[in-house]
Amino acid sequence: MSVLSIVKYPDKVLRDKTVPVGNIDGGLQKLIDDMIETMYAAPGVGLAANQVGISQQLAVIDVGIRDEKSRLIVLVNPEIVHLEGEIESEEGCLSIPDYTTVLKRAMKVLVKGYDREGGPVEIEAEGLLARALQHEIDHLNGILFVDRMGRIKREFFKKRYSRTIE
C-alpha cells in the first residue's frame, strides 16, 4: 500500500463528475487500499477517488476516530436515495486544507452502492457518518463543500483562499 497525493482546490478534477466503476478488479482493489492508507495518513474521515486524481465513483469513509461504533466503509458507485431532516455542523475537506465552516446537511441519509467485492450495500446513517457520506458523494458529483455555503460566505472563502494558493 502507498499514500497517494491528495489533489488540492482549485484543481479541475475536483469539479468533474466521476464515472461509474465498471470492473472490480485487482487494480481497483489496489486503489481502494491506497485510498484507505491515504485517508488515515492525512488524517481524514473520508476520501473520494477524484481527491487522488482518479475520476471514478469510489469513496472510503471511517468516522471511527470520532465515533467508536463506526467501521471502515468502502463504497463503489454510491448514490443517496433518501435524505431526512436538517442539521448544522462544522465541516472541512482534505482537498481544502486549514479551512472549515458550519454547513447545513441532511440529518439522516440512506445510501445504496456496492462494497469492494461488488456486493450490494445499503447504509442508513445519521450524525457524522451521514455528513461524511453526503460530503464524499458530493465529491463524486464534482461538488465541494464550499459550494454549499451561502453566497456571501463563499465570496469570503474565495478571497481568503486565493491568497493562500498564490
Segment among 19-28, 35-44, 69-78, 121-130 with least mean pLDDT: 69-78
* pLDDT confidence of residue 158: 87
Using CA atoms of 34, 39, 43, 45 in order, give the dihedral in degrees to the nearest 10: -160
Residue 82, SS3 per DSSP: strand
* pLDDT confidence of residue 160: 82
Q: Using CA of residue 7, residue 12, residue 17, residue 20, what is the dihedral sign?
A: negative
b/e code 103-134 from CB counts within 10 Å (16+ = b): bebbbebbbebbebeeeebebebebbbbbbbb
Q: Using CA of residue 99, residue 105, residue 107, residue 110, what is the dihedral sign?
A: negative
Number of neighbours of residue 45 by Cβ within 10 angstroms? 24
Tell me the average pLDDT across 83-103: 96
Active site residues: 136
Q: Which residue has the cell 457518518?
A: 129
Q: What is the pLDDT of residues 45-70, one digit of tens each?
A: 999 999 999 999 999 999 986 556 67
Q: Going from the N-terminus, what domains does the chain have, and what CATH number goes with each?
A: 12-165 (3.90.45.10)
* pLDDT confidence of residue 134: 98
Tell me the average pLDDT across 71-79: 96
Is residue 101 within 8 A of residue 153, CB to CB? The reply is yes
Tell me the average pLDDT across 3-16: 96
